[in-house]
Amino acid sequence: MSPEQVILAQPAARLLPEDFDIGPLGDRVGGSRTERMARAVAIRFLAGLGGGKVPDVELLPERREELSRSLQHYLDRQLLPSRYRLGPLIELEDGSLRCRVRLFGNPGSGSGELYLSIADGRWYVADLQAGLAVLGVAAPRRTGKYLPTEAR
């Protein structure tokens, strides 16, 4: 076999896009069943926020009241994420998951982390650590050169 044939015979790795703030984005269609189920919860949660409602059903039951009240504060001020990007899901020692998240509002954007936990066989959002207040503040234009993760 020629070197080219050897290279072409190798299994292809999925090439996923990256975000300027959060780095590589998560694979929205691949991953394990656990990852797909947790990602679906994250997507429903963020879509709900974008629609101006706290999707209580997606919040971890023991944190539901606290998280709902905190998030509603921002939604009442029209600090809504109109778009979002999710990084890859990372498993933590306790079996929960976290992923970097980038939220886009009008006119600003911000990044943070979304935490997911499993309870009674179902995934829930356990926390969102992101400064939602910045969604209403226009960010200064970036002047730095974007360097993909591989080159950092």
Interval 85-118: pLDDT, tens: 999 999 999 999 999 999 999 899 999 999 999 9
The architecture that CATH gives domain 16-136 is Roll (3.10)
Check pLDDT > 90 for residue 7.
Answer: no
Distance CA 114, CA 102 (A): 10
- Confidence at residue 151, expressed as pLDDT on a 0 to 100 scale: 39
Residue type, 108: G
Extents of the domains making up the chain:
16-136
35 or 15: which leads in pLDDT: 35
Cis status, amide bond into 107, omega within 30 of 0: yes
Long-range contacts of 9-18 (CB under 8 A, 24+ apart): 18/148, 18/149
CA distances in angstroms from 142 to 21, 94, 106, 136, listed in the order given: 11, 37, 17, 17
pTM, to two decimals: 0.84
